[in-house]
Amino acid sequence: MSQSVPMTPECYERLQEELKTKVRVERPKVVQDIAEARAHGDLSENAEYDAAKDRQGHIEGRILYLNDRIARAEVIDPKTMVSDKIVFGATVTLFDIDQEDEVVYQIVGEDEADIKQGKISVTSPVGKGLIGNTFDDEVRINVPSGIKIYEVLDIKYI
C-alpha cells in the first residue's frame, strides 16, 4: 500500500480545486487546440500541434499526480492538535544561533511548502530535524550548507 501524504485542510482543498480546473477547463481546451491544429493540415511540420500535444502531456501528468496525492492524503488540521512536541502542523519559533535571529516556521506537507511564507516541508532536513523536539531544546540539524543550530522558543498549533 502507498504511504499516506500529510497535508493541511487548506492544501487538500487547493489540490482538489486545481484538479477540477485541470479536468474541467484545461483538458477540454487543449483537446480543442489539438483538433484545431490538426485541421491545419500536415502534422509533421505543425508547431501548434506539437505545442498543444506537449501541453496535453503536462496536463495529464499533473492530473495523475493530483489524483495520487488526493487519494493518499492524510488531512491533519493543526487547530485540533494538542502537543508539547513539534509534530506536523506545528508553528515553531526558533532562535537561529548562527544568525542570532528568530525565525518562525510551520511544518507542512511537501505540496504546500513555501519558505517565503515560512512553511517548510516535514520531509525537508529542517522539518525532519525539528520533529519530536520540545520547548527550550537545542536542535542541531545537518543541512546542505553545514550544521544549523536552533533553540526552540515556542510551539503553537494554529
- Per-residue model confidence as pLDDT tens digits over 102-141: 999 999 999 999 999 999 999 999 999 999 999 999 999 9
Residues 150, 85 share a domain: yes
Residue 39 has pLDDT above 90, yes or no: no
pTM of this prediction?
0.85
Residues 13, 60 share a domain: yes
Q: How would you classify residue 41: left for phi > 0, otherwise alpha for psi between -120 and 50, otherwise beta?
A: left
Q: What is the pLDDT of residue 1?
A: 45
Q: What is the pLDDT of residue 46?
A: 76
Backbone angles phi, psi at 29, to 5 degrees: -65, -45
Residue 10 has pLDDT above 90, yes or no: yes
Residue 40 has pLDDT above 70, yes or no: yes
Count other C-beta atoms under 10 Å from residue 50's C-beta.
13
pLDDT band at 157 (very low <50, low <70, confident <90, very high): very high
**Mean pLDDT confidence for 42-55:** 83
Give CA–CA dist 147/129, Å, rounded: 11
The residues facing 102 across adjacent strands are 95
Residues 131, 98 share a domain: yes
**Mean pLDDT confidence for 84-98:** 95
Domains contained in the chain, number: 2
Domain boundary residue, one of 53, 75, 97: 75
What's the domain range around 9? Answer: 5-75
Average pLDDT, rounded, for the chain: 93
Domain boundary residue, one of 54, 75, 96: 75
Residues 151, 84 share a domain: yes
Domain boundary residue, one of 51, 75, 99: 75
- Beta strands (DSSP E) in the chain are 5-7, 73-75, 91-96, 101-108, 119-121, 138-143, 146-156
Q: Can you read off the three cell numbers belonging to residue 100?
A: 542570532
